[in-house]
Amino acid sequence: MHAHITPAVLTFNEAPNIGRMLERLAWAKDVVVIDSGSSDETVAIAKRFPNVRVFVRPFDTHWDQWTFAQKETGIRTEWMMRLDADYILSEPLIEELRTLVPAEDVSAYNTRFVYCIHGKPLRASVYPPRPRLFRVARGRFYEDGHADETAVEGRILDLIHPIFHDDRKPILYWIGSQARYMALESAKVAQERNLNLPDRLRRDTSLMPFITFFYMLFVRGLILDGTAGLHYVLQRTLADIMLKLYLVDRRVRGK
């Protein structure tokens, strides 16, 4: 099925990641990269790959970037695979995609993720499966807090093999990104009524960062992953602290 899939990638200052990521997409005849105006070597690295087409579009929202990728870049294949620049396709997943024969009523496939810290795979993360492979004509994008989701018309199945999430950018970049993301997430959590249990806990209790720390470290077993596991647990705990700070700030300011 490789010939029927166009991977699409959003980038912004992804020089530490984009080369490793695109190397795993050599099987695709056409790869679309939508860059938001990187100031590093991201675009130059992407252009080294003969199967990659690069578009530069100023960032407004993730929804708009993905919609541009889907509708304005000349994708000719039936299927699109939406990827972040720090996603690494596993070799078994690449082979699974090659042999995939979807029924006509199948509109998308969920992929699960293995989170990595500087190349070390972790045994658990908070990353849920997402529909990353879908028929172009049956998918659309929408904003959801700090992130965006893919809405699909039709049946969704699960792929067996994972994508590795392996971000190699400096930790200061991650902190800055999370500060922006949690500002958006706080607006969603503060205003939405039909929240799931974790989001209700983030909104209604100050204990959520501590719950996250102990749950991920001990219940999910990341203590067994050593320093890399602790690194990830501290990341998620800090993200919950940022989110709670934004929520408290909204209350102090009367929002």
Q: According to the CATH classification, is domain 2-165 in 3.20.20.70? A: no
Query: What residue spans define the domains of the chain?
Result: 2-165, 171-252
Q: Please count the CA atoms within 13 angstroms of the CA of 123 that sit on its side-chain side.
A: 13
Quote the DSSP letter at residue 51: T
Window from 31-35, 82-86, 187-191 with minimum mean pLDDT: 187-191
If one compares 219 and 187, the residue with the highest pLDDT of the two is: 219
Is the model's pLDDT at 192 over the cut of 90?
A: no
**pTM of the entire predicted model:** 0.92
Residue in this structure with the two tokens 């970049």, named with its chain if needed:
173
Q: Which of the four pLDDT bands, split at 50, 70 and 90, describes residue 205?
A: confident
If one compares 147 and 128, the residue with the highest pLDDT of the two is: 128
Angstrom distance (rounded) from CA 146 to CA 159 = 26
Angstrom distance (rounded) from CA 44 to CA 95 = 28
Asked if 33 and 54 count as a contact pair (C-beta separation under 8 A), the reply is yes
Angstrom distance (rounded) from CA 102 to CA 108 = 9
pLDDT in tens, 98-141: 999 999 999 999 999 999 999 999 999 999 999 999 999 999 99
Amino acid 141 reads: F
Quote the DSSP letter at residue 154: S
